[in-house]
Chains A and B, each alone.
Chain A
Amino acid sequence: MKSPESNVRARYGMVVDLDRCNGCGACVVACAVENNVPPANGRATERTGISWLNVQRLEGAGGRAAFLPMMCQQCDTRTPCASVCPQNAVELDRSSGIVGQVPVRCLGCRYCMVACPYHARYFNWWDPQWPGTIAETLNPAVSTRTRGVVEKCNFCIQRLQAARTRHAATGGDPAVAPDYTPACVEACPAGALVFGDLGDPQSEVSQLAQSPESFRLLERLGTGAKVHYRTRRPWVRQAVADAPAPTDGRTHV
């Protein structure tokens, strides 16, 4: 019998360079368009709207600011949301390491939202509305969701499927997706988002994730998040990381 590990092909992850992010929001828009996230209801607030990826503004002393793109952190070893869902609507795909959401199975109990320490899950409080001709712009590769279910970032898993298909069409291994890139990474004009296989030690994302400037949010909880952040600014690190800043003797700006 195969162990779950034997299916592991990749561990997709991301490194977000907080020193490069300028808060332009291109990633947010690209994500919403790619994944058919509906326009916000007129009564939606910051806490009831849906934004699989949102950019937090961090403010430091002396008017300093930094921007932190927040999405599902794609927990790995101890996925808080997947274990609590009563009807298997949340699944950790062992072949890619992506935590997927299956809206058609979702009961809307919101237990996964309570379990998620990153607040990266969103409930459809309203029926999605697509006014005017917006419906014609919907991405046919992504199902729209209905009222009463939870949704979240899945690293544009439809792009993974498409990339695998393309690779297979050229005679490659159908389980490998060499040109797989989520929409947010593609859209970022500052190159702040680096995406790839964390399981490949030669990949850029893997090497950046290992660098001393990199850290994960709530590292202490042991969720094994596959989204890493990096900064050379101590105050930013202080504001977002649990782990102390690296003591490598360098002077940080």
Chain B
Amino acid sequence: MSERLDEGLTPRGLPRAPLRRFVLWLVPWTALLGVGLYAGYRCLAYGLNETNLDNRFAFGLWIYLDLTVIALGAGAFFTGLLLYVLRKRELKAVINSAVVLGFICYSGAVAILMIDVGQPLRAWFTFWHPNVHSMLTEVTFCLTCYLVVLAFEYLPIVLRNRKLSRLPSLLLFEHQLHKLMVVFALVGAFLSFFHQGSLGGLYGVLQGRPFAFREALAVWPSTFFLFILSAAAAGPSFVLATTWIASKLSSRALVRPEVYELLGRVSGRLLVLYVLLKSVDTLVWLNHTSPQLGIHPARFYAFDPFGTWVLFAEIVALGLLPALVLTSARWRRDPRFLVPAAFLACAGVALNRFIMTVQTLALPTLPFDPFLTYLPSWQETMSFLGVVAYGVVLYSLSFRYLNLFPQERELLASEEVTHVPLVA
């Protein structure tokens, strides 16, 4: 296979790994994606009896995945908001990557949702006769609209491809789209705020599940606001972490250290606020909401493996700890602290979504209920991993053929390339 076969497609002046190596990198991920598609097909063709979900554990791995990737995908809207609205120019260096990540996260979540519902062909019913009181209605509307916005944000990045940009009409279209980016960023931020919040509200309104139920502030339960804040805090960390991974895999600097630092600073400050509000919320829930529903909060943590360590891990180890590291200018400057802290922040939001999804359903509600366990089937697991593989494949293709990191070229010029990129 010629190493120059796709040279005309890769960004001009940016070294990319030999095509053979790139294809070899894609093979296992594509295979995993294929297995994921097959698993998804089985669920659609034969029904959800292919899963280990049941009448009691009606939400499982998929909903957890959806909540987590949507939280991490918040990096797209929040970076856009910071760049286009709050004029944080440094973030131009990662906005393309953030948009691609957002698109991957949201399209992956929508794909999984389509498998997860029993009657996917009836999805349009929600738009036709919606129950405006349901948080899920709000999620469906905003998620769909935001995916369209992300597609429009992704399109100019694709159209700037070396080959495509030779076509004047596409170049003009890209230019016009680019002028609308501020509008897209604003619409995206508006939609994101609502559906991130509604995803939290999804659980916070469950009066029948005292573990998840929260007091309402205005018409929204507190989880509505906490989900927005946690997603906004974890999003920049996710952009930071993925940029670092891309940088390591491509063996070169993609953005200046100041960009990492800014992402870390934004993430850290929001995380501090989140940890503070989450702690207040937890104290209110433990001392007021839960006793008012007639439940001693110790009961929530009486079932292994969900002891109080979960609360500690969520708020302290994966919340306060990364928040402290990311707010310290000295630690932020050191990648040995900055990068693990970003990963911890992402893990924190993932654990929070796990607790809301899985622990809520595992805990008994009726006095004679048992504690429930659930282990996803291979079909659920593989379709989950299929989404991960889809993300890796799409991001790898985007990295190779599109200019995801505008600073890459100038950083390349300022340093001597000493080795060939590993994979992309």
Q: Knowing that A85-B131, A105-B125, A107-B126 touch, tell me 4 more A-B residue pairs with CB under 8 angstroms.
A: A68-B368, A113-B58, A122-B55, A148-B47
Asked if residues B206 and A123 are in contact (CB atoms below 8 Å), the reply is no
Chain B 239-272 residues near chain A, CB threshold 8 A: none
- 29 A-B interface contacts by CB (under 8 A): A45-B54, A47-B56, A47-B57, A48-B49, A83-B133, A83-B134, A84-B134, A84-B206, A85-B131, A85-B134, A86-B140, A105-B125, A106-B122, A107-B119, A108-B48, A109-B117, A109-B136, A110-B53, A110-B58, A113-B55, A114-B360, A117-B209, A119-B365, A122-B55, A125-B47, A126-B47, A221-B207, A239-B367, A240-B368
Output the nearest chain A residue to B293 by Cβ-Cβ distance: A220
Docked pose: A76 CA to B292 CA in angstroms: 20
Asked if residues B125 and A107 are in contact (CB atoms below 8 Å), the reply is yes
Q: Which chain A positions have C-beta within 8 A of B361?
A: 114
Q: Which chain A positions have C-beta within 8 A of B122?
A: 87, 105-108
Interface string of B355-369 (1 = CB under 8 A from A): 000001100011111
Q: Which chain A positions have C-beta within 8 A of B53?
A: 110
Is A88 an interface residue, CB under 8 A from the partner?
Answer: yes
Q: Which chain B positions have C-beta within 8 A of A240?
A: 366-368
Chain A 79-95 residues near chain B, CB threshold 8 A: 80, 83-88
Q: Which chain B positions have C-beta within 8 A of A150?
A: 118
Asked if residues A86 and B134 are in contact (CB atoms below 8 Å), the reply is yes
Q: Which chain B positions have C-beta within 8 A of A221?
A: 207-208, 210, 293
Docked pose: A213 CA to B1 CA in angstroms: 82
Query: Which label, helix, strand, loop or mixed, suits the secondary structure of the A interface?
Result: loop
Given contacts A114-B209, A117-B209, contact A47 B129 (CB under 8 A): no
Q: Chain A residues in contact with chain B, CB under 8 A?
A: 41, 43, 45, 47-49, 56, 58, 68, 78, 80, 83-88, 105-111, 113-119, 121-127, 146-150, 217-218, 220-223, 239-242
CB-CB nearest 8 A-B residue pairs:
A108-B118, A148-B118, A117-B208, A220-B294, A47-B54, A110-B58, A113-B58, A86-B136
Q: Which chain B positions have C-beta within 8 A of A118?
A: 208, 365-366
Q: How many residues of B contact A (CB 8 A)?
A: 45
For the complex formed, measure the closest distance between the CB of B214 and the CB atoms of chain A, giving whole angstroms.
14
Q: Which chain A positions have C-beta within 8 A of B367?
A: 239-242
Asked if residues A218 and B365 are in contact (CB atoms below 8 Å), the reply is yes
Is B135 an interface residue, CB under 8 A from the partner?
Answer: yes
Asked if residues A110 and B59 are in contact (CB atoms below 8 Å), the reply is yes
Asked if residues A86 and B118 are in contact (CB atoms below 8 Å), the reply is no
Docked pose: A102 CA to B205 CA in angstroms: 22
Q: Which chain B positions have C-beta within 8 A of A117?
A: 208-209, 365-366
Asked if residues A48 and B125 are in contact (CB atoms below 8 Å), the reply is no
Which of A45, A58, A87, A110 lies in contact with B118, CB distance below 8 A?
Answer: A110
Q: Which chain B positions have C-beta within 8 A of A121?
A: 55
Docked pose: A58 CA to B122 CA in angstroms: 40
Q: Which chain A positions have C-beta within 8 A of B407?
A: none
Asked if residues A242 and B294 are in contact (CB atoms below 8 Å), the reply is yes
Which of B128, B134, B208, B210 lies in contact with A223, CB distance below 8 A?
Answer: B208
For the complex formed, measure the closest distance between the CB of B208 and the CB atoms of chain A, giving whole angstroms.
3
Given contacts A43-B49, A87-B130, A107-B122, contact A80 B208 (CB under 8 A): yes
Given contacts A118-B366, A148-B118, contact A41 B49 (CB under 8 A): yes
Output the nearest chain A residue to B123 by Cβ-Cβ distance: A107
Q: Which chain B positions have C-beta within 8 A of A113?
A: 55, 58
Interface string of B83-99 (1 = CB under 8 A from A): 00000000000000000
Output the nearest chain A residue to B294 by Cβ-Cβ distance: A220
Q: Which chain A positions have C-beta within 8 A of B369?
A: 119
Given contacts A84-B135, A242-B367, contact A107 B117 (CB under 8 A): yes
Chain B 362-416 residues near chain A, CB threshold 8 A: 365-369
Given contacts A105-B125, A110-B118, contact A115 B209 (CB under 8 A): yes
Output the nearest chain B residue to A68 by Cβ-Cβ distance: B368
Q: Which chain A positions have C-beta within 8 A of B133?
A: 83
Interface string of B116-158 (1 = CB under 8 A from A): 1111001101101111011111001000000000000000000
Among B55, B136, B205, the one with the most A-chain Cβ atoms within 10 Å of its Cβ is B55
Q: Which chain A positions have C-beta within 8 A of B54?
A: 45, 47-48, 125
For the complex formed, measure the closest distance between the CB of A111 and the CB atoms of chain B, giving whole angstroms.
5
Asked if residues B136 and A84 are in contact (CB atoms below 8 Å), the reply is yes
For the complex formed, measure the closest distance between the CB of A224 and the CB atoms of chain B, giving whole angstroms.
11
